Structure 1
Amino acid sequence: MGGDFRYNAHRITLSSVDELYRFLTYHEKRYPLISAHRGGPSKGFPENALETFENNFRQQPLIIECDVRTTQDGVLVLLHDETLDRTTTGSGKLQEIEFSALKKLKLKDPEGNITSYRIPTLDEALQWGAGKVIFTLDVKRDVSYAAVIDAIRRHKAEAYCVIITYSADQAAAVHQLAPTIMISASIQSPADLLRLNDHNIPDNRLVAFIGTREADKPLYDLLHGHGILCILGTMGNLDKQASVRGDTVYSNLVDRGADILSTDRPIDAGRALQAYRNKHKLTSSFIK
């Protein structure tokens, strides 16, 4: 990592949910960001681990996408899979194991190497992230939105949390439970936005996940016209393209309309976006 990439102004400091709305509302000088998919795992750093979050946060202003599941005794933890086998030294379904047993397990990095790191709770993550990052929380099917919202409120984390949803009905359920909390909604067509509007979800409560392929210009223009930022998932094909063709792939995606890149290559993509921000003299009062 080059010296130009490690810089001091990298905390996303939001003191209220109104500031979150302002930061995540589109305007011509919007500040494009990286979202580290599953926290941005790499060699020595497992997915959904606080140590991995810290490693990536030290490099750049960051959104962290992470996965929320629940143990048998109702403790909310960060884990992507239903089972423990792939990412931990344990085995079996998480829902069938009490939290006390998880404390004995260690996390594996993407290459399967055992680390000294352990499965964090959502509470620990929210406590760590205050004044540092924005979380987008992927709430798995076995977890109630109400439980996650309770945790967010307990930590007064509404100013730095966004809940991921996959349908207008899910978005409406979250909005009904917590009208102030921001929602990442799947919007890949004008009809998707209309369904959200029909549920009376205000535009300033939304960021749009437009999928893992670029949107066409009319969709970008529609969403930006509503003040809605667009998250493009580069994990998969677009990350592979960038690894082959060069990291300017990422800045080109932003040039064409993407606002947030959800990537498995946060360091490389982040370097490209920092160059883009420097070139276009993009700054934010919320980056400290």
Structure 2
Amino acid sequence: MKCPKSLVFAAIGAGLLAACEQAVPPETYSEPGGEMTSTDMDADAGDVQSGETKLATLFDCVREEGGLLLAAHRGGPAPGYPENAIETLDHALSSAAFVMEVDIAESRDGTLFLMHDRTLGRTTSGSGAVADTGWATIASLDLVDNEGTVTDFNPPTLDAALDWAVENDAILELDRKETTSFRKIVSAVREAGATSNVILITYNDDQARQVAKLAPEMMMTAGIGGPQHEAELLESGIDPDNLIAWTGTRTPVPGKWKALAGKGIESAFGTLGRPGERLDDQYWADDDPSEYSELARGGLTMLATDEPYRLARADGWIGTAQDIARKECMGDFRD
């Protein structure tokens, strides 16, 4: 019988991380998405219980087998495929990644949809503030890819993206923007029957505790600092079965990844960010992806990247680790 992560943590305690290097405060790879509302803080999960879910079992398998999952930033945009589009999710799933990070905003009249920016001008044929624009107008806009080409694709609702994820056995990382709330996102996920297809991104301890209360059955990413910080988070009610430790975008910490893995907690790291500054650009500068292989060897479970397509074709241990995740773990997830 497999020992639950919560029991592993109770048995080992925070001491295992004492030998690991201290982490800097958690970093983010997009803006925090605003503060929580009083409505969010007052909401609770009702009768929903936490526990080992299908998605948590997948991450356990990837960690235990030494695999690696790529998470395509903003859905995996490419020429002709704009960020945060269903068509782009399809493209990424078929050729690069099983996990797609997408951004969730809310229109003036309450529709949740995929959008990163506060305004419409960069990624659509429209203009103006997202919060001031009704859904009928947004839905009629054409999406623009990262090279400025206007496509025939339109902004999708969160409901459409969730239905797509369930139908295709895909995983969406949901990054809440300031125009909406975790409460509304969690409600949409449950209504779509997508709790095993979603990871909720949090940016601080308050958000992590809030998500644990709102959605104890859903997985989340949360920044973890040193051993004391880790212990405090878990003692506050965050279920380690559903926790992925976000460890930043600047300096890999394999010692920490391995220590967390020893307690049954998966780690995520990002090589994404501003062009010219992100590790993705540095690692590919010589066309040699060996640095990514070191991340995979170091015990990382999920890599958030702006280069999912190149990495999906990479040789070395980075390619082997992806094959392990596909062949050893994804089959059971998709059954």
Superposition TM-score, scaled by structure 2 size: 0.76
Structure 2 unmatched runs, 5+: 1-50
User: Whose RCO is larger (CA < 8 A, sep 6+)?
Assistant: 2
Q: In structure 2, how many angstroms separate the alpha carbons of the residues matched to 1:70 and 1:17?
A: 31
Asked whether 1:155 is paired with 2:192, we answer: yes
Q: In structure 2, how many angstroms separate the alpha carbons of the residues matched to 1:279 and 1:149?
A: 31
Q: Which residues of 2 match residues 135-146 of structure 1 at below 5 A? A: 135-146=172-183
Instruction: Give the AA of the match of 1:22.
Output: T
Equivalent position to 1:240, from 259, 263, 281: 281
Q: Which residues of 2 match residues 187-266 of structure 1 at below 5 A? A: 187-236=224-273, 237-245=278-286, 246-266=288-308
Identity of aligned residues (%): 34
Task: Number of aligned residue pairs: give it.
Answer: 273
Q: Which residues of 2 match residues 1-288 of structure 1 at below 5 A? A: 18-25=53-60, 27-130=63-166, 131-236=168-273, 237-245=278-286, 246-272=288-314, 273-278=318-323, 283-284=328-329, 285-286=331-332
Contact 1:69 1:76 in 2 (8 A): yes
Instruction: Give the AA of the match of 2:300.
Output: A
Shift of 1:257: 2.4
Q: 1:233 to 1:112 in 2, by over 3 A?
A: same
Shift of 1:277: 4.4
Instruction: Give the AA of the match of 1:18.
Output: T
Contact 2:107 2:135 in 1 (8 A): yes
Q: 1:192 to 1:46 in 2, by over 3 A?
A: farther
Instruction: Give the AA of the match of 1:52.
Output: T
SS in 2 for 1:196: helix
Contact 1:241 1:249 in 2 (8 A): no
Q: In structure 2, how many angstroms separate the alpha carbons of the residues matched to 1:42 and 1:118?
A: 16
CA RMSD of aligned residues (A): 2.1
Residue 25 of structure 2 corresponds to none
SS in 1 for 2:222: strand
Contact 1:31 1:282 in 2 (8 A): no
Contact 1:184 1:208 in 2 (8 A): yes
Q: In structure 1, how many angstroms separate the alpha carbons of the residues matched to 2:215 and 2:324?
A: 39
Q: In structure 2, how many angstroms separate the alpha carbons of the residues matched to 1:251 and 1:74?
A: 43
Instruction: Give the AA of the match of 2:290.
Output: T
Instruction: Give the AA of the match of 2:328.
Output: T
**Cα-to-partner distance string for 1:92-129 (whole Å, 9 max, x where unaligned):** 11010000011221111001111111111000000111
More displaced stretch, 88-97 vs 212-221:
212-221
Contact 2:219 2:243 in 1 (8 A): yes
Q: 1:214 to 1:229 in 2, by over 3 A?
A: farther
Query: Which has the larger Rg?
Result: 2
Instruction: Give the AA of the match of 2:332.
Output: F
Q: In structure 2, how many angstroms separate the alpha carbons of the residues matched to 1:177 and 1:251?
A: 37
Q: 1:101 to 1:215 in 2, by over 3 A?
A: same
Instruction: Give the AA of the match of 2:260.
Output: L
**Cα-to-partner distance string for 1:71-90 (whole Å, 9 max, x where unaligned):** 00000010000100111111
Q: In structure 1, how many angstroms separate the alpha carbons of the residues matched to 2:325 and 2:72?
A: 23
Q: In structure 2, how many angstroms separate the alpha carbons of the residues matched to 1:79 and 1:17?
A: 31
Structure 1 unmatched runs, 5+: 1-15
Q: In structure 2, how many angstroms separate the alpha carbons of the residues matched to 1:140 and 1:163?
A: 12
**Cα-to-partner distance string for 1:133-155 (whole Å, 9 max, x where unaligned):** 11110011221111001100101
Contact 1:106 1:114 in 2 (8 A): yes
Superposition TM-score, scaled by structure 1 size: 0.88
Q: 1:104 to 1:113 in 2, by over 3 A?
A: same
Q: 1:226 to 1:99 in 2, by over 3 A?
A: same
Structure 1 or 2: more helix by fraction: 2
Contact 1:185 1:209 in 2 (8 A): yes
Residue 3 of structure 2 corresponds to none
